[in-house]
Amino acid sequence: EPPAAAAAPTQAAAEPEPPAKPAAAPEPTPPAEPAAAPKPEPSAAPEPASAKAASGPKLPLAIEIALPQAAPPPETAPEDAERTEVLPAPVFPGTKPPRLTQPGEPGPSTPDTERTERLRTPPSPHPREPVQPAPQPESTSRTVRWLPLAAIGLLVLLVVAAIAVATTGDDTDAVPTGPPTPATQPPPVSSTTAAPTQSLQFALRAADADQRCASHAFGDAQASLQQTSCAGVRRASYAATVDGRPGAVTVGIVEFPDASQAAAFKAVADTPGGGGILDLATETGKWGDTAPPRFDNAAYASKLEGTSVRLVQAVWAPGPSTPDDPGLARAAKAALDLPAR
């Protein structure tokens, strides 16, 4: 409202403060009566502060209205001029008019230009409500829901891996086996067992053939030959060395007209205590300087070859012998292939 803005300078001019005494004046000059403030025209609207600032400062007019005719101090003149320049700013409804400052009064800490800018910006009629962030979905329930599915998937993977290992692995690896027994362990390899021809050596002592069969036999074998027709008998005596130990081997080959008689005679000779063929070297004294071996408890082996039967006996010479001696049994089995001539 223009009248209110014009009344403020008039009221300030009615109560002037005593002017400051200049340093150069010897006597104080009485202040002159202030002139009456002219009334503003009602039709003229007050110009805004920005327009006045653009048109230039009107410092002399403000001094004539607000203050008595006294020279302001030189150091405060720029500050008063700056304050006076912002006085005609329009007053918005609901706000207080700016307070006038007198010469010599300390100014506010905040510049008037900043205060004017704050007055120009009216407050917002409707304050903006703060925007609430959207609530995030809880992932706890979703995680708990996936836990059973993950456990089932892990179990399926374990089952598949177990099946793959069982199908690709060896069957013998899947079945645990205990430590091997001494019976299943192979014998240690030695120089004597590595080459059987070196561990068994045979030397011929005597060999002969005869048409009379029963006279060169003993025991049940002799009785069987007396009852059957025999085509002939061949005999041979060998000195043997089994794993470095001396022994003796006797071989007798009995021939028959047919294979059935040969099989019957072999069955009689294979019976324990069934007799056999006498040693040729013992009958003829061909063992030389050594004592003739005794073939009691000898290791025995036999073989059917068509119409003939081969009988072999092996003993230690000298020394006691047993039918189940491993060395003698090996020597008797090897002598089945020795010639009888």
pLDDT class for 130, splitting at 50, 70, 90? low
pLDDT class for 312, splitting at 50, 70, 90? very high
Weakest mean pLDDT among 6-15, 60-69, 105-114, 255-264? 6-15
pLDDT class for 90, splitting at 50, 70, 90? low
pTM: predicted TM-score of the whole model, two decimal places: 0.43
pLDDT class for 175, splitting at 50, 70, 90? very low
Q: Per residue, what are the HEC states of 177-240?
A: CCCCCCCCCCCCCCHHHHCHHHHEEEEEEEEEEECCCHHHEECHHHHHHHHCCCCEEEEEEEEE
pLDDT class for 143, splitting at 50, 70, 90? low
Weakest mean pLDDT among 25-34, 98-107, 236-245, 288-297? 25-34
pLDDT in tens, 207-235: 999 998 899 999 999 999 999 888 899 99
| DSSP code, position 310 | E
Helix (H) or strand (E) holding 315: strand 308-316
pLDDT at 328 over 70: yes
Rounded to an integer, what distance in angstroms lies between the CA atom of residue 220 and that of residue 214?
A: 10
Task: Look at residue 191 in the predicted model and tell me its pLDDT.
Answer: 43
